[in-house]
């Protein structure tokens, strides 16, 4: 909302002289009337109508790119500064300048970088928030979700869905690991629906064969017979990098791709074919050598991590150069386009977003940039 | 979020000495570290983790009851103060003390009281927000939705769903009319998904027989053959009071009702059997003479209007007495119970809420009050 | 399939000299080959391909009209001839000449007329078949479904869904009652899925208030809060005539209706908005005074009962005159059109059919008659 | 239905002296009454009730095993006997002794073995029937579905869904190929819903990159962004053997499997997670070395092909020994169990069935064998 300061008692700062819009000038009688309404915990709609019913969305979030080379040293330094026991989790979170009050990276999405030493483990807990991890570096990381233990490597994508017991660690034989966390914590808080429980034993037992979720649910277009499932999230918890990248490369051979996104695949819940969790979706996209997508904008908030290659994106008319492991966001209704600067190598962008929310609430809308051949002029 | 002021630079105000929670004390080194992170648009999760991951929801909204006898005179006075042309719509909105920044009545729900003189009409527009009206008094009111005109009487419930052209008016032969508006404007804004369009002619044509929506879709458990429909909201736009009350009375004869809500029916989309709109649900409930429901709490935000009878509700331990046309809200996770004080007459409460949001995002949770026989002690 | 007699050993009776169709003439070598295949429980596809892959459906069923004045006396006579105890149920079933082997009235649908004296009751049972009743005459009839007792009057439509305990009777204070039964018994048998159980006590207890299903689920576009339901059929078991006819009349005021069906409404499951049972759908339609619908044809099998008025239908080019309580069928892919011969009164046709099957298996197809202004020439 | 011959005019052959069942003895008066009913195209339910409402299903189909070594020579011989042009398709179909009238292999499922020489191609057509192929031997086979060409190898599973243009062939560089066809032709005919069209050009153009369906939709739990799809069947047309077998082996490592089926996976439509086509489902199952599953029975008709290994199945108490490429069927409600006779190698069974029909119509029911430790006594 507008941060502009107004004279005390001013009520007509949102006037618009457009038919069908509120255009009421303050008068002493009206101001007095407004003050009476205020005492009744009420107000006159026409003083705020144009503010609360804008012509189109204007995001509170800024487009931001977080360079990994900047963040990494601080993330590593946290190892010396705090213990996992004291910190709960040793995480540096991304704090969008427009969303500091809710600790969001963009819109209602939280994101942070978490680091763990070999032999460390965070305590087990469960919460209403839906969570994911995307592995950035290191070996030996694992996650346990409701008794299912998964081993993790770079670019693997892992779910720790709403309501599940989950914990993370790095095996004693591993190396220091860093991953990106993504959660809907700000949304859960906004909807006043957040519950949090620490596991009574601080650790959960591993009750299934390691990586059983992938072995059971990771077949292509195959459903295990013994696979009853009635949760609102995917039973497949880990999406490994190798088959994902292979699928993208295969798909790239037979598609022109989207003019706006190149070759993009959504991670899905194999039970339904839909999004992996009810509030967070995710995708991996491949930009071919030299590809420069056209600009479009849509509602919803999107967090990107560069998994492969280097290039730049133009977001809201501003250029953001990126290379592997950099993270950036695209706020709602901001025009954006992506460029792979390599002439020989593809580039890959991991993304998580609130598309499931936008879709189930009927809020999704999309628009191509009509002017300038579909490319944004880049601001100086 | 906490409005408490802290010493400048303090980062450890959310510490909890509980295993699995963040408990890191500020040190000069850490504070300096936090400041460096801040410059990188980042932060240390452990400084905010306990704040953004609360043990359970604590609503920003207060329980409020708005007495109709207080509001009514102000609503009527607006007729003399502003024209519909200048005001857009002549509405007094309900402004929850905890939600002034987003002009919400409770949670992410907007509500207001609108008044129109005979012969007046508001201009036609469309917006992303989903809207409803509940008629409080007067004769001759009508609403037009996408060319479907509906005539309206007291306690009739009308939809003007997301994306539809709609306009309201009162016929020249009518009387001054007041109704309650309910919208998801704050939610639409929060999700940065709001679009607004004024109708190019400021008026739309009536292209169907008057009240055709009810004639076509208002049969019980009957679907018209020529009823193709692919929208995400109900094709039935008007739910009249008489059949609704009759259905409640019929149902009351064969049910004990809910211990927490008495005899309650949800208005539904007859195409799906589900909620009337993707972001707003509504219900009508009947409390039998002398009925005192047990207390429970659930996530989600609820706005009530008293259509019939008088009594009180205990919300978050506080008693709110109500009579016909009073409006009150129940914030998320607040315990609440309802009492019909009449020993001979039933009482009826209309309610609209964000249940469809809570359900589709997987955020709904419910709990009965275990103590004190299920009744809240009332605060003095 | 073809009933034409062929010379013994003839295998080429289905030849068609059309590119892409089988056209192989019998030779001694081939006939000998066919006989070898036969011993291996095999055959040559080209000997039957044109038979089993017809260009379009040709129904085994004939269009039939059963006059009530013919059937009624025989139905009543059964009272003297058999007891309900000996007969199980005292029913005269409708036996389509093309479907005698499966006791079907049309396609895979069974139908019969059942009669009961005051004070009689049939024993309780459950079966895989889905069943319905449509009341033709008499007072005091009732049905009990899983402990829910319903009282029944003329033109009321009642479900006794797949798997439910059900029984029928007429109260001692009633009159002799006749109703039409409709079931999917032939389909259940064809799919080899039929199970049958006699109630251990031969009678079930009434465990809910009488007519509670209608009181609870019969509200228009209203869902009772205490209405958990996870069956694949409607929780509303009785659809009464008065509100159904009123809904049709209301709908008729605002619609031109279908050119092929006039003003038609499908009975629905209020939980889903879909068909009442997984294998049988039902509808009621109103033909305005003098209305003559256009001819169309579609897949699926349809049984009609005339509830009101008189007129005729043209089915497959043949005219069938009908009056109240007459029953007729429309086989799959037969052109049909309906005429209300009254110039002042509407006519109403109840129909049950296998539309849910055709739709869920993807078998539904529809076509208007293109020639002759959309009306069939009537065969002499 | 019963094939037993009865004395002419006998109507009481289905009597049962069980309370709740029909038990009416023929009398001259009744027989005369039955004859009158017959003239009215009607009958007395009690004469057929016990026949058409059996206590449980008794399949018309026999359990049959077709040995590939028997069929193969006849299939190859057809090459010399008929041309594809004359035959339409050169197919030997499997003719269950109980289902000769509808040319079914079991229940309402058709199956045949088709053979093609290098350079041959069948003409393109479309039909209401849903079809699949399972490749048995040879190299160079291909199928084209709606312009999507797929190359095929042994144990690949291909869909040619309801309504699609499709054609098959073997490239000039290939070898003689044999595959199993599976279709729902008998069901389509029974439901009187079959339409058939020969492609106007007898050949369709290949309008997509070869094998694009697999490249686009064959990623595990990944949905291509440019993948709009609104058909009622899978957009993935080919399920290759290598990834299917790998998925089974992976799954076998983390599951005990089903006591009745071992390690079984259903082929799915990746858009919905459900069956591949609306009327035919398919699965691949792995029996571990020495595995002997327990006996159960369920409704529905099942066709098996042995892809790997050798062993036997006990169906309805009869032992059927099988080896690679043998085909056998399990009729509805027949007890069955499977045995892998190898102590070192796994065995794999491909299966197609009418499970989607049984499920969507609510007809599926399942029961384990309670006696004898869960194993059937084998009939001598």
| Candidates B221, B224, B237, B239, partner chain C, best to mutate (most C CBs within 10 A) | B221
Q: Tell whether B264 and B357 lie within a shared domain.
A: yes
A291/A347 Cα distance (integer angstroms): 9
Out of A216, A247, A278, pick the residue that ends a domain.
A216
**C129 or A19: which carries more pLDDT confidence?**
C129
Q: Which of C106, C164, C135, C163 is nearest to C354 (CA)?
A: C106
Q: Mark out the alpha helices in B40-67 (DSSP H runs).
A: 45-52
Q: Which two tokens stand for residue C210?
A: 């009488």
Judge: D77–C33 Cβ closer than 8 Å, yes or no.
yes
Q: Are residues D36 and D160 in the same domain?
A: no
Q: Which domain holds residue B141?
A: 65-217
Q: Give, rounded to a whole angstrom, the gap between the first and last alpha carbons of chain C.
A: 27
The label of the residue with tokens 């409404």 reads C265
CB contact under 8 A, B89 and A45: yes
Interface test with B, best of C132, C211, C220 (most B CBs within 10 A): C220
Least Cα distance to C276 among C154, C145, C186 occurs for C145
Q: Is residue D297 classed as helix, strand or coil in its secondary structure?
A: strand
- Tell which residue, B168, B362, B159, has the closest CA to residue B269: B159
- Name beta bridge partners: C160: C131
D358 contact partners, CB below 8 Å, separation of at least 6? C191, C193, D299, D300, D364
Contact, A182 vs A276, CB < 8 A? no
DSSP letter (8 states) at residue D373: G
In this complex, the chains that touch A, judged by 3 or more CB pairs closer than 8 A, are B, D
At B108-129, the pLDDT tens digits run: 999 999 999 999 998 999 999 9
How many domains does one find in chain C? 3
Candidates D302, D352, D304; CA nearest to D331 is D302
Distances (CA, A) of C179 to A9, C142, C144, C280, D363: 75, 11, 15, 18, 27
CA distance C293 to C287: 8
Whether residue A191 is found in the same domain as residue A327: no
| Domain presence at residue C198 | yes
Tell me the C-alpha distance between B181 and B173, whole Å. Answer: 23
Neighbouring subunits of D (3+ Cβ pairs under 8 A)? A, C
Give the whole-angstrom CA distance, residue B333 versus residue A195. Answer: 11
Mapped onto helix, strand or coil, the DSSP state of residue C297 is strand
Q: What is the mean pLDDT of residues B211-238?
A: 95
Q: What is the mean pLDDT of chain B?
A: 96
Beta carbons of D52 and C185 less than 8 Å apart: yes
Classify residue A122 by its DSSP letter: P
In a domain, D225, yes or no: no
Q: Is A228 a domain residue? A: no
The residues near C52 (Cβ < 8 Å, ≥ 6 apart) are D102, D103, D110, D185, D186, D189
Tokens representing B357 are: 């949001």
The shortest C-alpha distance from A109 to chain B (Å) reads 11
Our CA-based measurement puts residue A45 at a distance from the nearest CA of chain D, in whole angstroms, of 42
Gap between the Cα atoms of B225 and B209, Å rounded: 18
Helix and strand element counts for chain D (H, E) = 8, 24
End-to-end Cα distance, chain D = 27
- Least confident residue range of A226-230, C209-213, C361-365, D67-71: A226-230
Is C53 within 8 Å of D278 when comparing Cβ atoms? no
Residues C268 and C199 in one domain: no
* Residue located via tokens 């002439």: A343
Chain A residues with CB under 8 Å of B89 CB are 45-46, 49
Task: Give the pLDDT score at A243.
Answer: 97
Last-in-domain residue among D35, D55, D75: D55
- pLDDT confidence bin for C289, thresholds 50/70/90: very high
Q: Give exposure, C338-356, as e/b (b: 16+ Cβ within 10 Å).
A: bbbbbeeebbbbbbbbbbb
Instruction: Using a pLDDT cut of 90, give the percent of chain C over it.
Output: 93
D160 and D254, same structural domain?
A: no
Does one domain contain both B10 and B80? no
Which two tokens mark C160? 């006794």
Tell me: pLDDT of B201 over 60: yes
CB contact under 8 A, B54 and A232: no
pLDDT of residue C5: 45
Q: Are C66 and C94 in contact (CB under 8 A)?
A: yes
b/e burial code for range A94-111 (CB count within 10 A of at least 16 → b): bbbebbeebbbbbbbbbb
Helix (H, G, I), strand (E, B) or coil at C196: strand
pLDDT in tens, C255-278: 999 999 999 999 999 999 999 999
Q: pLDDT above 90 covers what percent of chain B?
A: 93
Quote the minimal CA–CA distance from A320 to chain B in Å.
15
Which among B360, B373, B207, B179 is positioned nearest to B278, based on CA atoms? B360
Q: Cα dist. A171→A78, A92, A131, A150 in Å?
A: 19, 22, 21, 12
Shared domain check, B100 and B138: yes
- What's the Cα-to-Cα distance from B312 to each of B106, B336, C53, rounded to whole Å? 19, 11, 71
- What is the number of H-type helices and E-type strands within chain B? 8, 24
Check which CATH number belongs to the domain holding C265 and give it.
2.60.120.10
Q: How far apart are CA A263 and CA A251, in angstroms?
A: 7
Confidence of residue C9 (pLDDT cuts 50, 70, 90): confident
The residue whose two tokens read 């709740």 is: D20
Q: Do residues D336 and D303 make contact, with C-beta atoms less than 8 angstroms apart?
A: no
Residues of chain C in contact with residue D85, where contact means CB-CB under 8 angstroms, are 19
Stated as kind and residue range, the H or E segment containing C227 is: none
H-type alpha helices, B19-150: 28-39, 45-52, 68-81, 84-87
Domain boundary among A9, A35, A55: A55
Q: What is the pLDDT of residues D282-338, one digit of tens each?
A: 999 999 999 999 999 999 999 999 999 999 999 999 999 999 999 999 999 999 999
Among chain A residues, the shortest Cα distance to D265 is held by: A224
Which residue in D342, D334, D340 sits closest to D313, CA to CA? Answer: D340
Both D119 and D252 in a single domain?
no
Tokens of A52: 């609360």
Give the number of other CB atoms < 10 A from CB of residue B343: 7
Residue with the two structure tokens 């001694």: C28
How close B271 gets to chain A, by Cα (Å)? 17
**What pLDDT sits at residue A159?**
98
Phi, psi angle pair for C250, to nearest 5°: -60, -45
In chain D, which stretches have pLDDT less than 50?
1-5
Distance CA A369, CA A296 (A): 5
Per-residue pLDDT at A7 exceeds 90:
no
The token duo for C184 is 């999917």
Instruction: Band the pLDDT of C2: cuts 50, 70, 90.
Output: very low
| Whole-angstrom distance, CA of residue C49 vs CA of residue D183 | 13
Provide the terminal-to-terminal Cα distance of chain A, rounded to the nearest Å. Answer: 27
Q: Are A71 and A212 found together in one domain?
A: yes
Verify that C118 and C207 share a domain, yes or no.
yes
Is residue C248 within 8 Å of residue C255, measured between CB atoms? no
A155: Cα within 13 Å, side-chain hemisphere: 18
Nearest Cα residue in chain B from C259: B226
Q: How far apart are CA C236 and CA A308, in angstroms?
A: 58
| Mean pLDDT, rounded, for B136-151 | 98
Q: 3-state class of A282 per DSSP?
A: strand
Identify the pLDDT of residue B203.
Answer: 94
Q: Are strands A366-368 and C347-353 parallel, antiparallel or unpaired?
A: unpaired
**Residues in chain D, total:** 380
pLDDT at residue B5, rounded to an integer: 45
Q: Which two tokens stand for residue C96?
A: 């389509």
Q: How far apart are CA B113 and CA B93, in angstroms?
A: 6
- CB contact (8 A) between residue D226 and residue A258: yes
- Looking at the domain assignment, is residue D278 inside a domain? yes
Residue B9, pLDDT > 90, answer no
The tens digit of pLDDT for each residue in A50-86 reads 999 999 999 999 999 999 999 999 999 999 999 888 9
Q: How far is C269 from chain B (nearest CA, A)?
A: 6
Q: What is the pLDDT of residue A1?
A: 34
Contact of A222 with D281, CB cutoff 8 Å: no
CB contact under 8 A, D88 and C20: yes
Is residue D8 a part of any domain in this protein?
no
**B33: which residues sit within 8 A by CB, 6+ positions away?**
A74, A77, A78, A81, B44
Q: Answer yes or no: do B188 and A363 touch at CB < 8 A.
A: yes
Q: Do chains D and C touch (3 or more CB pairs under 8 A)?
A: yes
Chains D and B touch (3+ CB pairs under 8 A): no
Mean pLDDT throughout C79-94? 92
On chain B, the residues whose CB falls within 8 A of the CB of C159 are: none
The dihedrals phi and psi of B354, each to the nearest 5 degrees, come to -105, 30
Q: Is residue D18 part of a domain?
A: yes
C336-344 mean pLDDT: 98
What is the 8-class DSSP label of residue A149?
E
Tell me which residue in D22, D77, D91 faces C45 most closely, judged by beta carbons: D91
D199 and D101 housed in the same domain? yes
Whole-angstrom distance, CA of residue B216 vs CA of residue A24: 41
Are D97 and D157 a contacting pair, CB within 8 Å? no
CA distance linking residue C240 with residue C102, whole number of Å? 31
* C355 in a structural domain: yes
D224 is a domain residue:
no
| Paired tokens of B132 | 């409803």
Residue B339 neighbours by CB distance under 10 Å: 19
C300 pLDDT above the threshold of 80 = yes
Search chain C and give the residue with CA nearest D356.
C361
Average pLDDT over residues B296-313: 98
Nearest to C198 among D19, D193, D331 (CB): D19
Q: Are residues D182 and D267 in the same domain?
A: no
Segment A284-297 shows an average pLDDT of 98
A42 close to A29: Cβ distance less than 8 angstroms: no
Cβ contact B181:B131 at 8 Å: yes
**Predicted local confidence at residue D171, as pLDDT:** 97
CB pair distance less than 8 Å for B129 and A53: yes
Where are any strands of DSSP class E within B247-346?
263-267, 281-287, 296-298, 302-308, 311-315, 318-322, 327-330, 336-340
Q: Which residues contact A259 (CB under 8 A, 6 or more apart)?
A: A293, A294, A368, A374
CA–CA separation, D140 and D156 (whole Å): 12
């Amino acid at each position: 909302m507008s941060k502009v300061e107004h004279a005390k008692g001013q009520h007509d700062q949102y006037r618009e002289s457009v038919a069908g819009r509120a255009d009421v000038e303050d008068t002493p009688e009206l101001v007095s009337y407004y003050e009476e309404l205020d005492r009744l915990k009420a107000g006159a709609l026409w003083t705020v109508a144009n503010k609360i019913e804008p012509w189109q969305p204007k995001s509170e979030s800024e487009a931001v790119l977080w360079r990994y080379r900047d963040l990494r040293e601080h993330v590593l330094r946290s190892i010396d500064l705090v213990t996992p026991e004291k910190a709960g989790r040793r995480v540096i979170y991304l704090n969008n300048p427009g969303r500091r009050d809710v600790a969001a990276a963009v819109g209602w999405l939280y994101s942070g970088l978490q680091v763990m030493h070999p032999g460390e483990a965070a305590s087990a807990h469960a919460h209403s928030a839906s969570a994911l991890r995307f592995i950035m570096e290191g070996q030996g990381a694992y996650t346990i979700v409701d008794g299912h233990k998964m081993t993790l490597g770079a670019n693997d994508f892992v779910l720790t869905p709403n309501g599940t017991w989950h914990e993370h660690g790095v095996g004693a034989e591993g190396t220091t690991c860093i991953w990106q966390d993504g959660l809907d914590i700000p949304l859960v808080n906004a909807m006043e629906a957040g519950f949090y429980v620490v596991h009574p034993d601080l650790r959960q037992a591993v009750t299934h064969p390691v990586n059983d979720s992938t072995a059971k649910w990771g077949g292509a277009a195959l459903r295990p017979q013994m696979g009853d499932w009635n949760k609102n999230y995917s039973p497949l918890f880990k999406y490994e990098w190798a088959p994902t990248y292979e699928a993208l490369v295969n798909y790239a051979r037979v598609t022109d791709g989207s003019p706006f996104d190149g070759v993009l695949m959504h991670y899905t819940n194999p039970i339904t074919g839909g999004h992996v969790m009810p509030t967070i979706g995710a995708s991996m996209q491949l930009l071919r050598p030299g590809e420069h997508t056209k600009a479009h904008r849509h509602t919803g908030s999107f967090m990107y991590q560069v998994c492969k290659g280097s290039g730049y994106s133009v977001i809201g008319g501003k250029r953001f150069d990126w290379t592997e492991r950099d993270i950036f966001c695209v706020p709602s209704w901001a025009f954006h386009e992506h460029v792979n600067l390599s002439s020989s190598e593809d580039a890959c962008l991991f993304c998580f977003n609130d598309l499931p929310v936008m879709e189930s609430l009927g809020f999704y809308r999309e628009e191509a940039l009509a002017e300038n051949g579909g490319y944004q002029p880049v601001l100086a």
